[in-house]
Amino acid sequence: MSGEIICEAAEITGGQCRPVEVHICEDRPVRIYLNGTLAGAFETCTVDMEALAYGYLLCEGLVAPASGIKSLKIKIKIKGDIITVEADPVASPSPAQAQFPGVDAGLIFERYVSLNRYSPLCRSTGATHCAVLFTAYGGAVSSAEDLHAFGAVSKAIGKAMLNGYDPGICFLLFTGRATPWTIRAAANAGVPLVVCCSPPSGGAITAARKTGVGLVCVPGPGWMAVFNGDHLLTGLPEPSSMQAVWPMSPGTI
């Protein structure tokens, strides 16, 4: 499978040792240049490199969002560990303006359970994060894997946008925890709702409430914590206590 290598190892179990072949995620350092200037350098899994380059630059707010992609002139070249991108930079990108119709909470649970379907590299190596952009009606627009969550998110967003999809009608579901970077990335790309599979950081919650990006955590089947953007969800149960839960108080974390 692309993105993985097979390494020899010694397996020790039950008091015995034997040689085995282990599937390992292939990684390498990359440097991304935008119009000749270094924009990022990090380790990544060696798949979906063009999507990584565009998605990362977009998530960082350095290139135009998908709403203008048809008129956007962008060239991506990959040579060894260097990815060069030529594009019109933007000082303050405006996110896509599509109207998000809202997503049923039950559908989010269903897509959470299906994440394994979009993670072939993780099934083989156990070493990657996965990110998927779903429409509000549950259709998968793009999916990607990487060593770290921010790489998977960058690839999924970049792949969707390079294929002409508008992220404004999608929600992002990914393994790992949301950080302030994740929320800024969603805001720059125009993604209205972020669903993470581990509890988000306090900075992510603050960033979500500042930018208006919806933030939900689903750490397991049937359990959900909504930190921001309850108006983006449908099918929510009525509060079980006398004190109203929806909408949430904006001044608390």
Domain parsing of the chain, residue ranges: 103-234
Structure tokens belonging to residue 29: 């350092």
Taking alpha carbons only, the member of 205, 197, 15, 29 closest to residue 111 is 197
Query: Is residue 82 pLDDT above 60, yes or no?
Result: yes
Reported as a single tens digit per residue, the pLDDT across 113-171 is 999 999 989 888 888 999 999 999 999 999 999 999 999 999 999 999 888 888 889 99
**Given CA atoms 123, 124, 130, 135 in this order, what sign does their dihedral have?**
negative
At 240, the pLDDT band (50, 70, 90 cuts) reads: low
For residue 73, what pLDDT is reported? 65
Query: Which string of b and e fits 99-113 if b means at least 16 CB within 10 Å?
Result: ebebbebebbbebbe
Reported as a single tens digit per residue, the pLDDT across 19-43 is 999 988 888 899 999 999 999 999 9
- Read off the DSSP letter of residue 246: S
- Read off the DSSP letter of residue 35: T
Scan for tokens 């690839």, then name that residue: 155
More confident residue, 238 or 97: 238
Please provide residue 100's backbone torsions phi and psi, each rounded to the nearest 5 degrees: -80, 120
- Read off the DSSP letter of residue 67: G
For residue 91, what pLDDT is reported? 45
Measured CA distances, 89 to 40, 51, 60, 85, 108 (Å): 15, 17, 11, 10, 35
More confident residue, 39 or 64: 39
- Orientation of helix 202-211 relative to helix 180-189, angle to 10°: 20
Reported as a single tens digit per residue, the pLDDT across 170-228 is 999 999 999 999 999 999 999 999 999 999 999 999 999 999 999 999 998 889 999 99
At 95, the pLDDT band (50, 70, 90 cuts) reads: very low
> Regarding the domain with residue range 103-234, which homologous superfamily does it belong to in the CATH classification?
Cytidine Deaminase, domain 2 (3.40.140.10)
**179, 201 contact by CB (below 8 A):** yes
Query: Is residue 11 pLDDT above 80, yes or no?
Result: yes
Query: Residue 104: enclosing H or E segment and its boundaries?
Result: strand 103-104
Sequence-distant (≥ 6) Cβ neighbours of residue 43 within 8 angstroms? 27, 28, 29, 30, 147, 148
Scan for tokens 């072949």, then name that residue: 21
What is the DSSP code string of 163-217? TT--GGGEEEEEEEE--HHHHHHHHHHT--EEEEEEPPPHHHHHHHHHHT-EEEE
Q: What's the CA gap between 66 and 165, in Å, rounded? A: 7
Q: Is the peptide bond before 101 cis (omega within 30 degrees of 0)?
A: no
Q: What's the CA gap between 61 and 145, in Å, rounded? A: 21
